[in-house]
Structure 1
Amino acid sequence: MTPKIVHYPQLFLRLAISVAMLSAVADRFGFWGKNSAWENFENYTKQLTFFLPESLSVFSAYSATFLEILFPFMLILGFKTKIASYGIGFLLLIFALSMTVSLGVKAPLDYSVWIGSAAAFLLAGQEKYSFSIDELLAKNN
């Protein structure tokens, strides 16, 4: 059983990761205003994935965006939390490695991409997920 002291920090971690991921997507779509860090996210993605063919780079940009929306909503709801956590952990790990190779070591550190990846993997390692659909489904079985 998960100690009670872990319930709220675990929920906070789920929400913090989710909000950070969704904020990046909102910025990409211009919801944070005109001075978006991702003004042309296809070009930014091409820069990060310079080692891929252009068509695959564009595909990866849209695929990553889809997953960056799906996984955070799964975390917020606590539905398939372990899968969502691993998904975010690997997405951010790939992003951090791509940033490091293409932009240098400073960029992923400035955007805390390594920390986000580590936090997602830490969350994935939990046995139970408090305040979640997963918890409700486990109680009904």
Structure 2
Amino acid sequence: MLLKANAMTDKKNQFPQLFLRLALAVTMLSAVADRFGLWSKENSSWGNMESFKEYTRQLTYFLPEALSTVSAYAATLLEILFPLMLILGFKTKIAAYGSSILLLIFAISMTIASGPKAPLNYSVWVGSAAALLLAVQQHYSLSIDQLTKK
């Protein structure tokens, strides 16, 4: 019996996988753009890094302030790095697992600190699950990974 090819990596269905990579990447980069004040005030959650550091402090209330600040910058760095890797399709599996773990940490922290509504409203659980689904794929179509595969 022949097994059906994974729908996300089947050559006929390259679009869903590429769409998922780009959707995750753009979503994460949008949050970073917000921190850097690139969205209008009407479309902004934080508007600047100081406000984001305060929000991070609320989510990481159990950490010393210095570690909370470090976590805000670390999250921002990873929210730039992982999406760029996803867009390029470079080390996609690592970027997808990293994104899933990072979003899972956000979802858990948001749930503990603020209750379940915030991570549900921002689809953080869905983002984490989607990144995990991407991470377990065998092949990454339309990617640097595919081009460099031996």
TM-score, normalised by the number of residues in structure 1 = 0.95
Structure 1 unaligned blocks of 5 or more: none
Structure 1 moving runs of 4+ over 3 Å: none
In the alignment, structure 1 residue 33 sits paired with structure 2 residue 40: yes
Paired residues of 2:104 and 2:128 also in contact (CA < 8 A): yes
Matches within 5 A, 1:1-141: 2-35=9-42, 36-39=44-47, 40-138=51-149, 141=150
Paired residues of 2:85 and 2:95 also in contact (CA < 8 A): yes
TM-score, normalised by the number of residues in structure 2 = 0.90
Structure 2 unaligned blocks of 5 or more: none
CA-to-aligned-CA distance 1:26-85 (integer Å, 9 cap, x gap): 011110023420140010000000011110000000011000000000000000000000
Q: What amino acid maps onto 1:18 in structure 2?
A: A
User: Matched residues, percent identical?
Assistant: 68
Q: Give secondary structure in 1 for the equivalent of 2:40.
A: coil
Q: What amino acid maps onto 1:46 in structure 2?
A: R
Q: What amino acid maps onto 2:101 in structure 1?
A: F
Q: C-alpha separation between the residues in 1 aligned to 2:46 and 2:91?
A: 29
Q: C-alpha separation between the residues in 1 aligned to 2:10 and 2:82?
A: 25
Q: Give secondary structure in 2 for the equivalent of 1:51.
A: coil
Q: What amino acid maps onto 1:3 in structure 2?
A: D
Paired residues of 2:93 and 2:136 also in contact (CA < 8 A): yes
Structure 1 vs Structure 2 CA RMSD: 1.0
How many residue pairs get aligned? The number is 139
Displacement of 1:5: 3.4
